[in-house]
Amino acid sequence: MGSMTGRRAIVTGGASGIGRATAELLAAEGARVGVADLDEAGARAVAEACGSDALGLGVDVAVAEGCRRAVERVAKAFGGLDVLVNNAGIIRRADVVETTEEEWDRVMAVNVRSVYLMSRFAIPVMVAGGGGAIVNTGSGWGLKGGARAASYCASKGAVVNLTRAMAIDHGPQDVRVNCVCPGDTDTAMLRSEAEQLGEAEEAFLADAASRPLRRVGRPEDIARAIVYLASDAAAFVTGSVLVVDGGGLA
């Protein structure tokens, strides 16, 4: 990966799972990181682990004012913004008949509206500084359908195509926009799916590992892909969708 030394980044959903692994890897590669999460205490704990320059921010990424303040605070503290990782996400395991309107709206707000809002406020800061990189977390279910996950599949499909649209619009401003699509990854969110479906957790995880590499992903597997796309190693990569799923889609 290209060095991230001196880069200034925000990671949403940074208090746990893929977001935490990404924030920690960015910091290890030399970036200054703003860790944003609805769980402010968790965000602060991850920021502390990332080093003295990191910031922990309590943010509801579905709310415009919170997103604006987060971008402004990080840009002011670090002197600009180079990298935005739109990673915050939730899942509701239900088909369209079972899904309530409130559940649908919340999944779409956290998974899609947040990408729009954070990018809306971050891109002008990046452009003012000469450019930047945005990496959105999609899903394998943003590229194919999945059972009893209607709102999630819809939201991640939107993230994938929003990535392409943003890459077209902002490439001339030297802002690259890419998407990572993880397969099942061992996080609290994945384990919560077993509970939502009423399945035994170990059996659920064993089924999720049924893919060519014979395991579920680790947060670090996805973090490496995200940091690659944010780095100069991917300087000519934009509008791309990188599947990181142990061969599941194959």
Superfamily of chain region 8-240? NAD(P)-binding Rossmann-like Domain (3.40.50.720)
Q: Is 152 a catalytic residue?
A: yes
Sequence-ordered list of residues with C-beta below 8 angstroms from that of 217, at least 6 positions apart, any chain: 182, 183, 184, 185, 186, 244, 245, 246
Q: What is the pTM of this model?
A: 0.98
CB 54 within 8 A of CB 78: no
Q: With H, G, I as helix, E, B as strand and everything else as coil, classify residue 34.
A: strand
CA-to-CA distance for 73 and 31, rounded, in angstroms? 16
Catalytic residue among 152, 162, 178, 226: 152
Single-letter code of the amino acid located at 243: V
CA-to-CA distance for 214 and 217, rounded, in angstroms? 10
Strands 132-137 and 175-182, sheet pairing: parallel
Instruction: For the chain, 250 residues long, give each residue's pLDDT as a single digit of tens.
Output: 568 999 999 999 999 999 999 999 999 999 999 999 999 999 999 999 999 999 999 999 999 999 999 999 999 999 999 999 999 999 999 999 999 999 999 999 999 999 999 999 999 999 999 999 999 999 999 999 999 999 999 999 999 999 999 999 999 999 999 999 999 999 999 999 999 999 999 999 999 999 999 999 999 999 999 999 999 999 999 999 999 999 999 9
Residue with tokens 């899942």: 91
CA-to-CA distance for 228 and 243, rounded, in angstroms? 13
CB 79 within 8 A of CB 58: no
